[in-house]
Each structure stands twice: as C-alpha cells, then as structure tokens.
Amino acid sequence: MRRNAFKNTITKLLAGMLTVSLLAGCGSTSATPAQTEESTEEVAEEASTSEAATSEKDVSEIDTSVMTPWLNSNIIGIVTDETNPDLKDDFYLNVNHDYFMNVSLRPGYPSETPIFDAADTVKERCKDILTDKTLEERDAKLPQSFYELFLDWDTRNEQGVEPLMFFFDKLKNIKSLEELNEFMLTEDYFIYGNYLANVYLGMNPDDSNLYQVEIYSTSLSLRDSAEYKELTEEGKRRNTYNEGLASYMLGRLGYTDEEIAKLIENQFSFETKIAASMKTTLEQSDPGFVKESINPVTMDDLKEMSPNYPLPQFMEKFGYADSKLINVNEPAWLTGLNEVYTEENFDEIMAYVTVKSAVSFIDFIDEDAYRTSQKLSREYSGISESKSDEDSAYDMTMNIFSDNISRIYIEKYLNEDIKEEITGICQDAIDTYMEMFDTIDWLSEETKEQAKYKLEHIAIHAVYPEKWPDDSMYLVTPKEEGGTYLQAMIDIAKADHEEELTHINGKVDKELWDVNILDTNAYYNPTNNSINIIPGFFCDATYRSDMSIEEKYGALGSVIGHEISHAFDTNGAQYDANGNVKDWWTEEDYDAFMARADKLVKYYDSVVAFDDGTPIKGQIIQTEAIADMAGFKCMLLMAKKIDGFDYDKFFRANAELWARAGTLEYMEKCALTDPHPLHYLRGNVTMQQFDEFYETYDIKEGDGMYLAPENRIAVW
C-alpha cells in the first residue's frame, strides 16, 4: 500500500512530513500530511529543461492586456526592452528587468532563479566527494558506489527489462480479484508492484513524540482529483505525458498495441471512479483539512472499512498492523475505493496496477527507456534539453544518501562560526516576533501569551545537526562486485521498509532534524516546531558575510522570518509548541485570524496571471503568502532599530531574491498545484502591504504598486 518500493525510496527525502518549505517546486499541495516539502529539482519525475524554452505557445501570442494587476514577468521570454515599467508601477519587474532579459534555463530545470546558484555550488562540491577515490570511509563509499551504478549504462543496457519480466508474467496470469489479492501479499509484489493505498510512518497529531502508521489515498496519474471532472490545460499535458510513459513501458514488457490502448483506457476509467471520493488539491489546501485528516482507527476498524481491498491483510503481512496508532487520512476515499474494488471492475483494477507498476521502472532500467522518459518529460515541460546524466545521477544519489555526503561536506566546507552567525540571526528574528505580537491589537492577551510560548520553544536548526539517524541497514553492492543500479534500488527499498519498522510504536527522536541539509531550501516543521536554515541555501543571492545589513535582512533575514511565520499561518497555527494539533487560540481570536486570511484569499483569487483562464487560487497559496508578509514585517521591525537603515537596498535585495523565470507550462502548473504564490506576486504583493515601502518610493494613489490601507491583506 506504498506507491511502490521504488517510488517510496525516491520521495523519501523529498517528502518531509508536513514540512513547509520556502521555494516553489510545483506538484505538492499546501501543508497536507502527505507530501509538502518541495525541492529545486523534481527528482521522482525528471522535469527536464533547456537553455532555450520551447513552449507550445509562443510567448508573443500571449495577450498580456488581461493580466492584472501586473504583467506575469515570471514567464520566460515575456519581458522585452519595451516592457520596463516604472518602479512605482511594478517594482519587482523594474528591479529584475535586466535579469529577465538575459536569463536562460539550465539543463535539468523548468525554471531559473539566482537561488539555484547555491545548488550549483553545493553540487560541484558534492561531485568532488562522489568522485574522490582517496576517501575510504563508509560515508563516501556508499554514495560513490550508487553514483557509479546509475551511470553504468553497459550493465543497464545488457539487463534491459529482463529483471522485470518474471513479475509482469505473473501479473498477466492473474485471472480474478482473489488471485490479485493473494499476489499483493507477496514479497515480489511489495517490491515491484503498485498498491491502491499508500502506507507510511508519520507522527501522531495528539502527541508528536509518538510514531503512527498513516494511510493515504490512491496515487492518481493526474495528481489532482479535480482533473477527472474537468481537465485543465495542465491536466491535458500530464495526461499526454502519462500515456507516453505507459505506451512505451508496456510495449517493452511485451504487450500488444491493442492491449496497451485498452490498459490505458481502463486505468483512466478506474482512476476516475476512485477520484470521485477523494479530496481535490483545493480541498486539501483548506485549513480545516488539518483536523479532517485526523481519523484514528484500529485494525478492527480497518477490517470493517476495507472489506474488499486487502488493506488489513497488507498491514498484517508487512508489519504495520503491530502499530498501536493508525490513522486514515481520507476515510471517504477508503469507503469509495472499496465500493469500486469489485470483480465487476477487475479489468480496470488490473489496468491500474499494471500501468502504474510498469511506468515506475522507466528510469531504472536501460538507456533507451531513460532517454524516452527524458523526451516525454521535455515535451510535457515545454523545453528541449535534458540535464546531463552526471547531474541526474547526482540528484538521485543526494536524495538517498544525503546524510552520508553531508557529514563529509561539513568537515570540508563548514565551521562553527557560520553556525553561530546563522543561529544568532534566527534568534534575533524570534525575539522580534515576540515584540511583534505585542503590537497586534486584534489578539487577546491570552492568545498572545500562547503564541509567545510557542516562539520560545521553536527549535533552531541552523547549518548542521549534532546527531544523525542510524543508516546501518543501507548497503550498496559496488559495480566491481556485481552490483547493478536496479538491484541497488531494490536493496534500498528493502532497507527503507526495515528502517521504518524499527520505529513502529517507538518514540520520535526530536534531536534528529530529518532534512537534507544540502537541499537548496529552508523549512519550518510544525510537528517538531523547528525552523531549518541549512547550508544548501547559502549563496550570493541569499547570504554573504560581506553583505550590508540591509541586504542580509532583505534576503536571508526575510527567509528566516518567513519560516518562523509558518508557526502562525493557517495550518501552523493549529499546532502547539510541542508539535501537537491542539486548539490554543480563543475562539474569538481564531475567527478574527481566519477573517484576515479570507481577505488575503479573495485578493489572490482576483489576480489574472495568464491569458488562458488558468486561475490563481488564493486558498492554495494562503499559508506561504501569509509567511512572506509576516517575515517581511519582522525584518522591518528589526530595521527600525538601526540608525540610517537604507530601505532601498532592503527592498531591492528582497525583489532580487525572488527573481524567477520559467516556461509557460511550468508556471501554469505552479498556479494550479504550488502552495507558493508566483514569484512576481511574492515580490510585489508583499511590499505593497507596508508603509515603509510607500514612504521610500513616494508611492501614491494611481501608481500600480498602490494598495489602499483598507484593502491591504497582511494577516500579521
């Protein structure tokens, strides 16, 4: 009931439970218990990109006159010499105009931003570690062996699909639901097959010191259940992409063209039936979903809830039934799944498990399959050149063995001085939030005290941890000893399961950070009330020791303030200082808070960023928008304490931080699925909330950046 062993392994470090991150990554929903951490690279499905965008729709054909309140300057190629507004009308574009005129997309990325320079710095250093044969420790040998196996095309080509054939031969011989259920409970299916429920280990919402088994809904090819009612342009592109993957892999596995067409048709039909009982992305973004997703059950409950689908039997077979704490994320989905999991729908069920299982291997077998995956990804993303094999191997290695590489990285490139400085900035920001709550006149003293208590207990995870998780169960057989990439992935998947079971009924060690410190991102985790400001994020765009105080506050400072604010956004506000879901607000205060958040949602709902009707959905992006504005306010309060503070430098540094350009397809995808506002909105909307901005640039009514005080939407 995992996606399957391979998908689970790939997303292991990308999927930080309930972690709220800084950067837009498209493809995850807003702060749901499933997967909310984002990365600068989508590793599970390579969003290949190029140095020159090749979108289906030429940007010159876009009707920019419908865009309000500003031009969507994040679409690459849309900014021209003539598109250069006064800073009073579009501050973000004015500051970043030259950047947009000269930007190009690097291979392997669907968008470009100066923050990615940090990723390049980290990558160069880590590649040195991956290729340095003088390193003898286990932390070097494990990732080095895996990296080499990824790039061993000779062995991968020699094997081809042969290692998979036994599994799909067995799958082809399944003739009834009873036979399928029996097969699902085998070790072979656990490793190679796809289930219709996803089972992971998470934290208990009532006591975040305890682990619990989490049961999530079926993985849909179109991701959002709303797409099965009415396809968006993004949904149509994804559907074409999915069909291409399925057609290729099923053909490689010996299915005829007629069989392939029927399997794809039946898979979509069955997903449509399941989607009818699943929450949409928009519904999962509702703050109320945090509590709606808490549905503790017993094994006896599961047997009643899932009489047809063998979820209880799976739990018993693979060790999850031993857990004293079990939660079903969407009970209505489980009911709906069991209603359609019948012999009558056998052909469609078989199509789902066959197609999903086949497609999950496309990046793990031979070069022809891998190149096909890259080609389809390029077409889906609207670009032309894939990242290098070495970069892809690096990405996958980092997402499985980041702790091992990080320990070597720390010794070579980091020191206590950096850790102390970043920790100090974090503490200063927390102290300022303490002062900020004193100025909020719509909060009662009772709620203010609770908020301050939560602030006092925020864990500052700055730069690197002092304690690491046990990874002794992970092994990689090197190429010279007969190891292969596919077998390495199988061994890692088994180790993932072994490691997970060691925590059943155990206690969470909150000294462990559970993040990839070399990821180019920053995070807040409500389940342990921590901010994570990590070295993968440090670069010229965000932090240099020789930056002016204004630049530090505008860049890294605003990020730190942003992450702290997630403790008080519409989702984080539902967690207490210990990381438990708990009401700590007075009812009156919480209603006032939500009314302010609703005003923000309505503002963003009115934004027009595309000329094809692709909407901005305020509910999806509200948590990140709240955090952007609160983090900004925190830095402005700190600025008031500094004589002669240069606000122009501060505002420009922040606008430059959010410079980002990407393909039209990517930006449309972000608008539909990303919990972050598009970056031009992160820049402009945030700034127009604060008097200091108006005073610095003499912004008046009639200017494009003007927003009347009564219409401003900053929640804090």
CATH number of the domain encompassing residue 128: 3.40.390.10
Identify the CA nearest to 624 among candidates 514, 517, 535, 524: 524
Whether residue 48 is found in the same domain as residue 188 = no
Query: What is the DSSP pairing of strand 211-216 with strand 198-203?
Result: antiparallel
Q: What percent of the chain has pLDDT over 90?
A: 86
Average pLDDT over residues 620-648: 97
Whether residue 122 is found in the same domain as residue 187 = no
Whether residue 29 is found in the same domain as residue 157 = no
The angle subtended at Cα 626 by Cα 623 and Cα 534, nearest 5°, is 75
Domain closes at, from 336, 370, 397: 397
Sequence-distant (≥ 6) Cβ neighbours of residue 77 within 8 angstroms? 53, 59
**Banded pLDDT at 79 (limits 50, 70, 90):** very high
Q: Could you give the angle at which helices 389-413 and 116-131 cross, rounded to 10 degrees?
A: 90
Whether residue 303 is found in the same domain as residue 426 = no
**Banded pLDDT at 41 (limits 50, 70, 90):** very low
Q: What percent of the chain has pLDDT over 70?
A: 92
Query: What is the DSSP pairing of strand 530-533 with strand 459-462?
Result: parallel
Residue 145 contacts residue 404 (beta carbons within 8 Å) = no
Q: Is residue 668 part of a domain?
A: yes
Residue 279 contacts residue 286 (beta carbons within 8 Å) = no
User: What does the pLDDT look like over 112-150, one tens digit per residue?
Assistant: 999 888 888 999 999 999 999 999 999 999 999 999 999
DSSP count for the chain of H helices, then E strands? 29, 10
Domain closes at, from 350, 370, 397: 397
Average pLDDT over residues 418-437: 94
Using alpha carbons, list the distances in angstroms from residue 209 to 17, 128, 531. 14, 38, 18
Q: What's the confidence (pLDDT) of residue 55?
A: 53
Q: What's the confidence (pLDDT) of residue 458?
A: 97
Instruction: Tell me what the pLDDT averaged over the chain comes to.
Output: 91
Average pLDDT over residues 568-586: 95
Hey, what are 448's tokens? 């203010």
Q: How many CB atoms lie within 10 A of CB 702?
A: 8
Whether residue 233 is found in the same domain as residue 163 = yes
Classify the phi-psi angles of 319: left when phi > 0, otherwise alpha if psi is within -120 to 50, otherwise beta: left
Residue 253 has pLDDT above 80, yes or no: yes
User: 525: which strand partners?
Assistant: 530
Residue 442 has pLDDT above 70, yes or no: yes
User: What does the pLDDT look like over 291-324, one tens digit per residue?
Assistant: 999 999 999 999 999 999 999 999 999 999 999 9
Q: How many CB atoms lie within 10 A of CB 619?
A: 23
Whether residue 430 is found in the same domain as residue 464 = yes
Residue 8 has pLDDT above 60, yes or no: no
Whether residue 369 is found in the same domain as residue 424 = no
Average pLDDT over residues 523-535: 95
Identify the CA nearest to 75 among candidates 704, 686, 670, 684: 670
Average pLDDT over residues 44-68: 64
Sequence-distant (≥ 6) Cβ neighbours of residue 171 within 8 angstroms? 183, 193, 350, 353, 354, 357
**Banded pLDDT at 107 (limits 50, 70, 90):** confident
Least confidently predicted of 2-16, 19-33, 553-567: 2-16
Q: Could you give the CA distance from residue 147 to residue 149 in angstroms, rounded to a whole number?
A: 5
**Banded pLDDT at 23 (limits 50, 70, 90):** low
Q: Is residue 495 part of a domain?
A: no
**Banded pLDDT at 353 (limits 50, 70, 90):** very high
Q: What's the confidence (pLDDT) of residue 27?
A: 41
**Banded pLDDT at 12 (limits 50, 70, 90):** very low
Q: What's the confidence (pLDDT) of residue 382?
A: 85
Domain closes at, from 370, 397, 424: 397
Alpha-carbon dihedral sign for residues 420, 423, 427, 428: positive
Q: 328: helix, coil or strand?
A: strand
Q: What's the confidence (pLDDT) of residue 384?
A: 81
Whether residue 382 is found in the same domain as residue 468 = no
Average pLDDT over residues 35-58: 40
Residue 5 contacts residue 497 (beta carbons within 8 Å) = yes
Whether residue 316 is found in the same domain as residue 353 = yes
> What is the DSSP code (8-state) at residue 523?
E
Whether residue 292 is found in the same domain as residue 438 = no
**Banded pLDDT at 546 (limits 50, 70, 90):** confident
Q: Is residue 234 part of a domain?
A: yes
Q: Could you give the CA distance from residue 4 to residue 7 in angstroms, rounded to a whole number?
A: 5
Dihedral pair phi/psi, residue 507, rounded to 5°? -105, 145
Query: Which CATH number goes with the domain that contains 267?
Result: 1.10.1380.10
Whether residue 157 is found in the same domain as residue 285 = yes
Query: Residue 288, class by beta-carbon neighbours within 10 Å (0-12 exposed, 13-18 middle, 19+ buried)?
Result: exposed
Say how many CA atoms lie within 13 Å of 238 toward its Cβ: 20
Whether residue 560 is found in the same domain as residue 707 = yes
**Banded pLDDT at 20 (limits 50, 70, 90):** low
Q: Is residue 404 part of a domain?
A: no
Q: What's the confidence (pLDDT) of residue 51?
A: 37
How many domains in the chain? 2
Hey, what are 275's tokens? 């989607």
Query: Which parts of 606-663 fold into alpha helices (H)?
Result: 618-639, 647-657
Q: What's the confidence (pLDDT) of residue 57?
A: 66
Residue 25 has pLDDT above 70, yes or no: no
Residue 382 contacts residue 120 (beta carbons within 8 Å) = no
Average pLDDT over residues 587-600: 97
Residues 348-367: b if buried by 16+ CB within 10 A, e if exposed:
bbbbbbbbbbbbbbbbbbbe
Range of the domain at 578: 18-136+410-472+507-716
Q: Is residue 489 part of a domain?
A: no
**Banded pLDDT at 538 (limits 50, 70, 90):** confident
Q: Is residue 405 part of a domain?
A: no
Q: What's the confidence (pLDDT) of residue 4?
A: 46
Q: What's the confidence (pLDDT) of residue 159?
A: 97
Average pLDDT over residues 208-228: 97
Q: Is residue 280 part of a domain?
A: yes
Q: Is residue 366 part of a domain?
A: yes
